[in-house]
Amino acid sequence: MSEQSLDAEGTAESDLVLRSARFRCVAFRDPIDRCEHMALVLGEIGDGARVLVRVHSECVTGDVFGALRCECGDQLQTALDAIVAEGRGVLVYLRGQEGRGIGLVDKVRTQVLQDERGLDTVDSATALGLPVDVRDYGPAARVLRHRGVRSVRLLSNNPDKVRALEGYGVKVAERVPLPAPVREENLGYLTAKRDRLGHVLPHLNGSPHHGPGNGRV
């Protein structure tokens, strides 16, 4: 676990009014990866226990343009809605983690292989000699400590994210499922995340799109 922490020189704060609520926006330059990330904080953190938290990796295609081949944009909005309903929580938005850390150009290259050769999100990366997942959640742990968060209820379907955060000293009191709509366009992607990457997606089997011939990854 890194002993590095955020400092005043590398952080800036302001209010950020979204359609759903007024958040406190914390922009920070991480002292380790040197990227600029953001945390949206709602309500009073108080004693810092069992704070509802989403750690979200940047996805330009899904978050900004609403692409349907992944569930990123849906998860981002659902997480914000859950935090607003709770009245207290933090959404950490990690930049520079496009395509599970391989970058935007290589992510698009993997999508070409998925479309042309029928490879899934895992095999399309390894076919190009790329790692499957190189994301680092250290920046999230550092900004959560900076805001006084002691333990989290983590909005995620990914048990590996729980283990990674705990490796940085973040106590995960609970993993809160974050289901997203299953569509024809994202079925193969979600199936691969479940079968190849260990994501917990029980709603996938109940989808009307999940049937004979639709489960290819």
Catalytic residue annotation: 133, 135
In the block, which residue shows the tokens 């930049």? 95
Under 8 Å between Cβ of 96 and 102: no
> Which residues, including other chains, have CB under 8 Å from residue 120's CB and lie 6 or more apart?
114, 188, 189, 191, 192, 196, 217
The three-state DSSP-derived secondary structure of 125-138 is: HHHCCCCCCCCCCH
Under 8 Å between Cβ of 102 and 170: no
- Whole-number Cα distances in Å, 19 to 84, 91, 93, 195: 11, 16, 18, 36
- Whole-number Cα distances in Å, 180 to 29, 98, 217: 30, 19, 18
Sheet containing 22-29, strands listed edge to edge, beginning at the edge strand earlier in sequence: 11-17, 22-29, 36-42, 89-94, 51-57, 151-155, 171-176
Short-list 59, 73, 91, 99, CA closest to 155:
91
Under 8 Å between Cβ of 57 and 108: no
